[in-house]
Every structure is written in structure tokens, then in C-alpha cells.
Amino acid sequence: MSAQIISGKEVSAQVRARLKKDVEQMKLQNPNFRPGLVVLQVGDRDDSNLYISMKLKAAAEIGINATHMRLPKTATEEEVLHSITKVNENSSVHGLIVQLPLDSVHKIDTEKVTNAVSPEKDVDGLTSINAGKLARGDLGDCFIPCTPNGCMELIGQTGVSVAGKRAVVIGRSKIVGAPMHDLLLWSHATVTTCHSKTTDLAAEVGQADILVVGIGKAEMVKGEWIKKGAVVIDCGINHIPDETKSSGKRVVGDVHFASAKERAGFITPVPGGVGPMTVAMLMGNTVLSAKRFLEMHQPGKWNISYTKLNLQKPVPRMRFVHFLYNLNSDIEISRSCVPKPIDYLAKEVGLLTDEVQLYGKTKAKVQLNIIKRLQPQPDGKYVVVTGITPTPLGEGKSTTTIGLVQALGAHLKLNVFACVRQPSQGPTFGIKGGAAGGGYSQVIPMEEFNLHLTGDIHAITAANNLLAAAIDARIFHEATQSDKALYNRLVPISGGERKFSPIQLNRLKKLGIEKTDPNALAEEEITRFARLDIDPSSVTWQRVLDTNDRFLRKITIGQSPTEKGYTREAQFDITVASEIMAVLALTSSLEDMRQRLAKMVVATSRSGQPVTSEDLGVSGALAVLMKDAIKPNLMQTLEGTPVFVHAGPFANIAHGNSSILADKIALKLVGPEGFVVTEAGFGADIGMEKFFNIKCRYSGLRPHVVVLVATVRALKMHGGGPTVTAGVPLPKEYIEENLGLLEKGCSNMRKQIENAQHFGVPVVVAVNAFKTDTEVELDLICSIAKAAGAFDAVRCSHWAEGGAGAVALGQAVQRASNAPSNFKFLYDLELPIADKIRIIAQKIYGADDIELLPEAQHKVELYTKQGFSSLPICMAKTHLSLSHEADKKGVPTGFILPIRDIRASVGAGFLYPLVGTMPTIPGLPTRPCFYDIDLDPETEQVNGLF
């Protein structure tokens, strides 16, 4: 009786159908996901092309995104290895095949090339790592080579149990024979491997219950050798002469089929047996790799290790200066902790290799393409940290932010990200010191955090000043040239023709000129196109510098004889006050940033029209300078929890919050049960109000909890305590128990709780405890806060204890995040400008009314006419009082808020009314911080920084 034919075509069709369903199921769970396969070929062999086309066709049928990467015959080994590395680092590719043989004119080490494939993408199963795992029996943790895997599938179709059977494998190649031996062995067969040197091969074959042949010799195994009823799997593909075929040859296996089928119980044909199974198993390995990828990168699935703090009491080199912890201890604490390699942390929190751009060992940028990958994932819980109206010394919002995330992560074992602003170098070398948190709750390394980071602020400086230079250059050239000369220079002849640049075409469209040929413009159109006609007195765009320099607050530019007397008064701002910084913080994508940069209004024409950076033709160049700055920076806390440091807009005249992009990416990474904690600058009347009314409007995000930081010191000041001045010892009222002063000052905390409640979000008060605070004082604040409507109020000691000192705060935040909330904005954008200002003044500051001074009234009329009246409001006022007067503490009442001017940040997307006066570039004190800063030339260690 003839053997039963095992049809590889039929079995492979079943496998492909199953794989197709698997891929469809993946896409249901993640619509943006498709398994990816790359077939890398060197040269152009016909047989390789045939095999590749079969693989690509099978991949398309299943739903695998397959790519044929073809390198020329001239490709060197180095070029092949480089191509493999690129594919290894591409997270959208889950399988990589190097098509053999490598058809190159250069000598290429096939073994080296094969082993260069990442084991996680080695769907051919040919790397030494996968082969080693197979040899050890780790079948669930490797890729099984496709042909042997297909053979096992075909044997399974027979219903014959492999366990306990005698199996013979003829051939010992790395592709078929050797892995086939291992597979049969780990399926509990007794296996013999035969080869060209085997004595009495026929006798060995005659003992086989299962025979697998892959020796590469046409019809070598004769039928009479085969044991009666054996399972025969023929892996051979050979060509022998056949005059009956048009090609003069036919394909046969390594087994003489006609005689073998008369003795075997089951047999595979050639062709139509093992061949189709090899392709099917390749597809199976690719789908398996994609499944493993999805399993490893489930939403919010972190495998994070935390850094254990070596707490010391008292804190290292802690000394009291004005009864405040001196920042000198912060740098020592920072250096006492060895940070995790940043690429390791990135992997722990679910970032892929190609999504991370390393800047040394402790910081990295995250590519924006992660947004698309994470888009289907649910967001985590969103927490904003703000504070009561602070003293000039600050009340520890940054320290509380970091302490809270360390508590939620390292101690409560929740996925958590901190999102904080990048500090300016102005304060670093001036008077304030760093902004990385403090004590045992800080971002590390603090030197890198406070010095340059990855150059984002420098990029903003470059972009801002390029625009400033463009403005004055344009004013000068328009003043010194005729319309025709100006036009000829703006649209010069190049290669015998004139062409508008894309940005110039945008300007034509804005002017309503529907022409693309520079020679077709009429004289009137040439004038309108070429002349921006900027009124020099209307220029609002200033130059910037990331240094405190008081002598640049008012300057005269254009004094060189080459500028022909075209001088004007101007000024410098500190870089973080640039509108480009605000754009960076509020943008949602590279395209959105490009559009915002284009819309920035820098001046007004003499006819009253706004002049933008797009009109000046510089907006594209600004985007180029900002292309890396838009990527959030990844760092870590002392306890190893992740931190995004991104953007640092001035909190007085801008919105004082870190970037929307960092928050959005972090919310996806932490998963639905995780937390993202972001910080809003200054007190709740400034940073928090702007966070809700500006940042949340543009991001579409809705916060779950407000954390309001309060201190005994600040509340005593609001109760009528003596003036608190940086650099002067604290009066005794602040270091001795005084419940009357404290209780009176709690009015400010009540007002800030009320301010948060205007937005319908639960409030948790974090009482940042200092060493001089008494238990009674801390308890009093907590009880008053709860009575005022706070969801909870918790004392914290995270400066001295790290996350352990903020566990109670973390638990309170976790409970509050599940409490009912009814988020709402404070005002409708369509209200008139003055009405929106009035609502903020009355509801948040407690003013009776506002007064628009003449310049402000003029701007209301101008911006309404120019179409900017529907922008949100970003109040620019002192952070030291709820009112416009810094010395008015507590909760001032009965005052009129004067608005002296209003300015427009159209690209960022807000109007900012000026309340009182404030410098937009700080000055250096008599003894700046830089006196203490130096570099050790031997170790390159920065000394004296904080």
C-alpha cells in the first residue's frame, strides 16, 4: 500500500490562514500596528529573486508589512552590516532575513553578517544565540529555523507521536540538519544524525521511524532502505535532466520518491512538500516576533528598578542659613547617587531604541514618532503641583513635585513621570541657584540639569535672534532701496529664471495674489509683496540672551556708520521670556510648531497690519533651528523614577509651565493606572490659572488633582510677619511657634484652594515641613485646609527623606484622583478682551475691578481689529502677591487692578496684559553665584554649583 502524501501546500495554506487571523486580531487591539518584515538581499541572483518574491507574496496575503531591501553587488561587508544595524534599530520591523548567498564582488563573512541580526528579529533562526537556545532546549525563548520548524509541522500532521520514536536526520547543516536534530531530540525522539562520512547509511535509515533528509544529493535515499511505515520528510531540492520537460530538467528531492512511497507510511513530495512550509514558518516566526513585541510593550507595562537612597541625618553638610537648608548639600546628595544609564531607564518605561536619542549617559531626547505608536493607549492620571503665594525664597514646589513622584513610584510601586521645566542659566549664575528640586528629592545629575542640558535654550536664543536680525535688516533694506531694486533682490534671477520660494508663495496667497510667476506681478503687486512697511516704533520682538544682564534692558541699535543713521531703541530679554519658548511649551507637533512660529507677530505696518515671521520669510529657518529642541528631554530622580525636562517659559509674562508634548507622551507611557505630575510656576493665582486656562485649552488634557504646596514660613508672612528677604536672616517670628500669625496667614491658602476649586478639580494641600516648624503649627494648617474644602491636607518631609517622606501625600493624591471632578474653564474665549481680564482679576486675585490705562485700551482696540481678541489671557504680574503690589500679603481686597499695556504672543496663542512693571531680563547681584563656580581640570568636576 502506497504512503499517504503529506501536502505542504495544503498545510502551509492552513498555517497562513491562521496567521492572517492573528494579524487581524492584533490590528483590532492596536489599529496602528502591523507586523514588519525586511528581506535584505545583496546582488541580483535569479534564484534569490524567486524566493524573495514568494516571501513577499505570502507576507502580503497574511497582512505583514514586508520590505525588500536590495543592496548592489558592489556592497561591502561594512555596508551590509550598517544596513542590518538600521533595521535592528527600527521598532516597526519585527523580522529580518538576510537572503543567502550574499552575491557581492567583495568578500563578506556570512557568519558575521548572520550574527549581526538582532536575535529578537532573527526570524530565520540562524544567529548563534538562537541556535544555542535551541540546542539547550529553550524552544519558547528563541526562533526555530524555518525549514526544520516546517518539517515538525508536517510530522505533526501525520498524527504520529514523535516521543519515543527512533529518528534519523541525514545532513548536518546549520539551516536544516543540526536544528532538525535538536527539535526531534527535545520532542523526546532518539535521534541519529548521519552525513557523508556515515558508515552503512542504509542500515541507519532502515531503523528510522522518522526520517528527515537534507543532504543535497538527488534521489540518494532509496526506497528499499526505508523502514516499513516510516514518516519520510524530504527537504532536498535538486535538478536532474529530463528530456520530457521543456526546460530539459526536473526537480527531485534527496529521496527516490517512486520507490520510497511504496514502503513509507507518510511522505512529502518534491516539489509541494517542505518548500511551501519553509515560507509559512518564516511568516509564523514574524508574527510570533510581533506578538512578543506587543506583549513586551503593553500599555503601562514597566519593568523598572528603583534606586535605594542612603539617607543621612543630618543631611550631608547641611547647615542653616537664615534657618533654611543651604543648597550646598544638594550637589553632594546628587553626586552620592549613581544614576541608571539613561538608555536602560528608557527601556524600563517602554521606550524603544529608535525612539531615544542619547545625549551622554544620563540624558536623552525622545523622538516625536512615539506619539503615533502610543496613540491608542489610554492616558494615566494627571496631577498639577502649584502653591500658595510664595516668599521670595520659594516654598518648594519643585522639591514637592519630585518627592511626590518618588513616593508614587519607588514606594507605592505605581508608574509615574515627573514633567518639569528646564531652568535658565540666568539664575544659575545669578542669585537663585538651581531648579532641580532639593535634598533627597531632586533631578540628577543636577549639574547637567542646570547647565545647558541638551541645548534647547540655546536653540531658542539662536532662532529668536535670527528673527530679530531679520526685522531690522528688512527695515533697513526697505528704507534704502526702490521697490524694483528690493523686489529684484528678494526674487533674484538664478539659473536664468526667477522663482518664488515656498514661503514667498505663502505671502502672495496672504495678499490675495494668485500668481506664481515672478515676472507676472504688476507694479502695485510688486510693491505690496516687497514692502512690509514696518513702523519701527511698533516692533515688539526683542533680542534675547540666557544671562542676567541689567545693562541690556534698554539699548540703542544701528549706531555703526554702515547702518546710515537708522538707529532705534531696543532691548534684550532673557531667553526663557522669548515667545519661541512659549511656542515650544504649547505646541503639539512639529507641524503645529512650524505654524505657530509662522504666526508670531513681531511688529505692525504703518497701515496697521500685523507683520509676522512668515511675512519676513524666516519662519522655515526658525523651525529648522528648533527641530531638536521640540523633543522632550529624559532624565531621572534620585530614586530612579523618570522625568521629562522640557521647555521653561517665563512664569511672569508667559504661562510658566513645561511642555504639552512631554505631558502627553508621559501620560501614554504610564498607562491608565499611572500618574504624571507636572509643575506650574509661582503661586496658584499665576501658574495654575495659566495651566488651566491656556495649557489645558491647547492640550485638551483634563487634570485629576491639584497639589497646593504651603509652608509655615509663607503663611506667617501672609499673616503679617516681617519682610522676608533673600540673603537676610529670617526674623524670629518664622522660627518660633506663633499660631496667631499662622492662622491669620492661612487666609492666603484658603483663597488659593478656592482658586483651584473654580476649575472643579480636587485639591490636596502638601505642607512642606521645615525643621523649625512645630507639630501644632503643621496640624493647624492641615485642619484649616480641610475646613476650606481641600480634599486632604498632608505634611511632607521629602527634602530630608526622599519619596518616603511624601508617601502620605502620594496616597492622598491617589485617592483624590478617583474622586468626582467637574473640570471647567474660568472664561469663554469669545468674550471681549477686557471681560476676560476682569474675570481673572475678580475671581482669582480678588480685585474689585480693572482699569485699562490708555496704552492698554489702544491695544484692546488694535488686537480686536486684527482678529486676536479670541485668544486666552496670560496675565503678567508679580508672583509675590495676589494683587499687583508685591508688598500686599494675605488676601488683599478693595483694589482696582491697573492694566498698563497688553501685548500679543500670537504664535504661542495668548495675549498678555502687563500689570505693573517687571524686568524681562534680571540683573546680577553684587555677589553672583559665579564667584563659587569653577572646574577641576583633573576630574572635570564642576565645583561650587549650589
Active site members: 55
Peptide bond into 341 cis (omega under 30): no
User: Cell triple for residue 100?
Assistant: 543567502
User: What does the alpha-carbon distance between residue 348 and residue 352 come to, in Å, rounded to a whole number?
Assistant: 10
Contacts of residue 179, defined as CB under 8 A and 6 or more positions apart, other chains included, come to 125, 131, 134, 144, 145, 148
CB 780 within 8 A of CB 742: yes
User: What does the alpha-carbon distance between residue 834 and residue 499 come to, in Å, rounded to a whole number?
Assistant: 45
In this structure, which amino acid lies at residue 482? S
User: What does the alpha-carbon distance between residue 891 and residue 847 come to, in Å, rounded to a whole number?
Assistant: 10
Q: Which helix (H) or strand (E) holds 868?
A: none
Least Cα distance to 123 among 212, 58, 32 occurs for 58
What Cα–Cα distance (Å) separates residue 530 from each residue in 412, 477, 540? 63, 10, 21
3-state secondary structure of 191: strand
Least Cα distance to 484 among 516, 530, 517 occurs for 530
User: If 0-12 CB within 10 Å is exposed, 13-18 middle and 19+ buried, where does residue 173 land?
Assistant: middle
In this structure, which amino acid lies at residue 144? I
How many C-beta neighbours within 10 Å does residue 92 have?
18
How many C-beta neighbours within 10 Å does residue 160 have?
15
Mapping DSSP onto H, E and C, the string for 120-182 reads HHCCCCCCHHHHHHHHHCCHHHCCCCHHHHHHHHHHHHCCCCCCCCEEEEECCCCCCHHHHHH
CB 404 within 8 A of CB 641: no
What Cα–Cα distance (Å) separates residue 888 from each residue in 199, 522, 785, 882, 912? 103, 62, 22, 8, 22
Q: What is the DSSP string of 553-614?
A: SSEEE--SGGGTT--EEE-EEEGGGSHHHHHHHH--SHHHHHHHHHH-EEEEBTTS-EEETT
